[in-house]
Amino acid sequence: MFRIFRLFDRAVVGLGFLVSLCLVGLLGFSIPASIKEIIFYFVVIVSLVFISRELVRFVMIRDKRQYFHADWFDDLIVLLMITGGGYGFFSKSGEPLHDFLTWYWGVLVILGLFSALIDRVETRVTSSKVKLRPAQVFIFSFAIPIVVGACLLKMPNSAQFDMTWVDAIFMATSAVAVTGLGVFDLNQLTLLGQIILLVLVQLGGLGIMTLTMAFTSLIAGGLGVKDRLMLGEMLSEDKLSEVKSLLFKICLFTFAIEAIGIAALYGASRSYNEPIDLILVWNSIFHGVSAFCNAGFSLAPQNLMDPQYALNVTFMVIIMVLVVLGGLGFPTLSNLQRILFSYFSRSPKYKILTTSSRMVLTATVGLLIGGALLIWGMESRVRFAEMSTLESFFNSLFLSVTARTAGFNMVPTEEISVVTLFILIFLMWIGGAPMSTTGGIKVTTFFVGVLNLWSQVNGSRRLEIFGKSIRHDSVLKAYAVMMTSVGVIFLSSLAMVYLEPALNPMDILFEVVSAFSTVGLSRGVTQQIQDQSKLLLVMLMFVGRVGAITFLTAFVAPRDPERYKLLEDDVIIQ
C-alpha cells in the first residue's frame, strides 16, 4: 500500500512540475495552436492521475473520517477538477474551452503539487541529513523568488523590448528586496510583466517563508516543532505557542491594510459619477501594494511626480499612511491592535505598549517630523521657493516619509541641494522598524545606539528607557549592525566610484545607501551604470533586505558556548 502511495506521490510531483512549465510557456511565449492542444490533453491526463491518487487513498485507508479530516485540501481540489470536467462535458468543445480548462485544471494541479510537496517535506524533515540554519533558510527564501522572478521577467511576453539577463536579475532583486530602483520605466513592461513584478514585491514585503508556512499550517492543520523553532527565530518570537498566531496576524494585517489602501486610492483617483475604470483599478492595486511594502515602484514614468498623482493631495496622503504603516513593523501593529481590541472588551491585559513598540513609535514620529522640518528649512528657499508654505511643507513631509525606504518621490531628487541629500542619506540609513517591510539599520538599532552614547556621556552603568533596562546583548548587536552597515556602504561606494569614474561621487554614495537600505530613491544613476555596477547594486539590495548580520551568520558556523572564563583586562579607549 505504501509503495502505491509513494508511486502516486512521485508521479504527482514530477508531472506537476511539467504542468507548471507548460503554463509558464503558455503565459510567456507565443505557442502554436497545435502545441496548445497537446498541452491541454497532457493537463487532462495529469488531472486524472491526481484524481486516481486520491481515489486509491480513499479506498486503501480504513479510517474514512480521519482521511477527510487530514486530506480536506486535496479532496477540495479533486471536487473542483470533477466540476470542471462536468462543465467541459456539457459545453461545446473548441479552442476557447480548451484554453479555459487548460488553465483551470493546470492551476489546480499546481495546488496539488504544492500539497504533495508539503507532505513529502513533512515526512522527511526529521530524517534529513541536510541541516539548514534559520539564517540560511531566510536567505534562500529571498534568493529563490529572485531567480524565478528573473526568469519570468525574461520571457518575451513580459516586456515590450528584449530585456537582458542582468536587467531581469536587477528588477527581480529590486522587487523582492522591496527597493524600487529600476533600470527602465515600468510602462515598458507588459501587463504580464507588471503583474509578475507586483507579485515579487508582495513576496518580498510579506516574506515567502511566512506565506509558505501559513499555507502549510492551513493545509496540514498545524506546524511541527522544528517549523515553529525556525519561524520563532526568524520572527523574533520566543513563545512557540504564539508562532502560529503571529504568522496569521502578519498575513491578516498585510492583506487587510492593503485592501483598505487600494480601495481608498481608487476612491481618490476617480469621481463618484464615473463608471468603473479597470486601468484605475490596476493603478490603485499596484500603488497600494507598492506603498505598504515600501517598494516605491510606480507605473508612471515620472514616479509620483506625474501630475495625475502629484496634484492629488488625497492620493498622496493615502500613500504616506500606507508607507508609515508598512514601516511600523508587524509586532508594533499587533501591539496596537491588541490595545484597541482590549478597550472594546474592557480587558486591561493588553492596554500597555511594549518597550519595542514605544521605541518604534517615538523614533518614527521624531524622524518623520524632524526630517520634514530639516528638509523644509533647507529647501523652502531653494527647490520649494516657488511653492506656498503649505505646499513646501507637504512636499518636505512626503520626502521625509518616503526617504525611510519607500522610494516614491514628488520632486526630482537631482534638483535637491547637497545638504538635503545628506539628510536623506541619514534617514535612508536608519530605515524603519524591525520585522517591517522596510530596510535600513532599523529605528530600534539607532535608538539603542543613541542611548548607549548618552549613557557613556553621563556615566550611567546601564541603559534605561521607559522604565526598563535594555539587555547588554541588544546593545552589542545594535553596534554590530551599525558598524557592519557603515563598512558595507563605504566599501561599496569605493568600488562603484572605481567602476563609474564619470559619475558624481555624491550621486554614487546616494545610490549605494538607497540600494543597501532598500529605499529606491535615485539621482538618475541607475539607468546610466554598467552591468558590473548593476550587479553590485543587486548584491547590496539583497544583503540589505536579509540584513548584513543575518547574511554573514548564514556562512559562519555557530560556536559552542564557552565553558570557561578568561581574566578580564582593560583596553585604552579614547
> 270 has which bridge partners?
none
| DSSP letter assigned to residue 557 | P
CA 151-119-214 angle, to 5 degrees, is 70
Q: What is the pLDDT of residue 324?
A: 92
Within the chain, how many helices (H) and strands (E) appear? 23, 2
270 burial type by CB count under 10 A (0-12 exposed, 13-18 middle, 19+ buried)? middle
Q: Is 311 helix (H, G, I), strand (E, B) or coil?
A: coil
Q: Classify residue 337 as exposed, middle or buried by CB count within 10 Å of its CB (0-12, 13-18, 19+).
A: middle
Instruction: Name the nearest CA neighbour of 431 among 393, 404, 403.
Output: 404
- Cell match 529605499: residue? 519
Angle at 149 between CA 143 and CA 154, to 5 degrees: 130
Buried b / exposed e over 187-222, threshold 16 CB at 10 Å, is eebbebbbbbbbbbbbbbbbbbbbbbbbbbbebbee
DSSP string computed for 269-308: HS-TTSPP-HHHHHHHHHHHHHHHTT----SSTTGGGSHH
Helix axis angle, 531-546 to 165-176, nearest 10°? 20
**Which residues are bridge partners to 3 per DSSP?**
none
Pull the grid cell for residue 540.
Answer: 547590496
The whole-number pLDDT of residue 555 equals 79
Beta-strand relationship, 468-469 and 464-465: antiparallel
Rounded distance between C-alpha atoms, residue 410 and residue 370, angstroms: 19
pLDDT tens, per residue, the chain with 574 residues:
556 666 766 777 788 889 889 989 888 888 888 888 899 889 888 888 888 877 777 777 666 666 555 566 777 888 888 888 777 767 766 667 778 888 888 888 887 777 776 655 554 444 445 566 667 777 887 888 899 999 999 999 999 988 999 999 999 999 998 888 888 889 899 999 999 999 999 988 876 556 555 555 555 555 554 555 555 544 554 455 555 666 777 788 888 999 999 999 998 888 767 777 888 999 999 999 999 998 889 998 888 888 888 888 999 999 999 999 988 888 888 888 878 777 766 655 556 788 888 889 999 999 999 999 999 988 888 888 888 888 889 989 999 999 887 888 888 888 888 899 999 999 999 988 888 888 889 998 998 888 888 888 887 777 878 778 888 888 888 888 999 999 999 999 999 999 999 999 999 999 999 999 999 888 888 888 999 999 999 999 999 888 888 888 877 777 777 777 787 777 777 6
What count of residues does the chain have?
A: 574
How far apart CA 265 and CA 262 sit, in angstroms, is 5
Which pLDDT score is estimated for 261? 94
pLDDT at 229 (0 to 100): 52
212 in Cβ contact with 183 (< 8 Å): no
Nearest-angstrom CA–CA distance, 113 and 107: 10
Cα 518 to its chain centre, rounded Å, is 11
Amino acid at site 487: G
Handedness of CA 20, 26, 32, 36 (dihedral sign): positive
Return the number of other C-beta atoms located less than 10 Å from residue 513's C-beta: 25
- E strands, 133-202, where? none
Nearest to 262 by CA among 192, 318, 309: 318
DSSP three-state, residue 180: coil
Q: What pLDDT does residue 112 have?
A: 79
* Residue among 401, 395, 406 nearest 180 (CA): 406
pTM: predicted TM-score of the whole model, two decimal places = 0.86
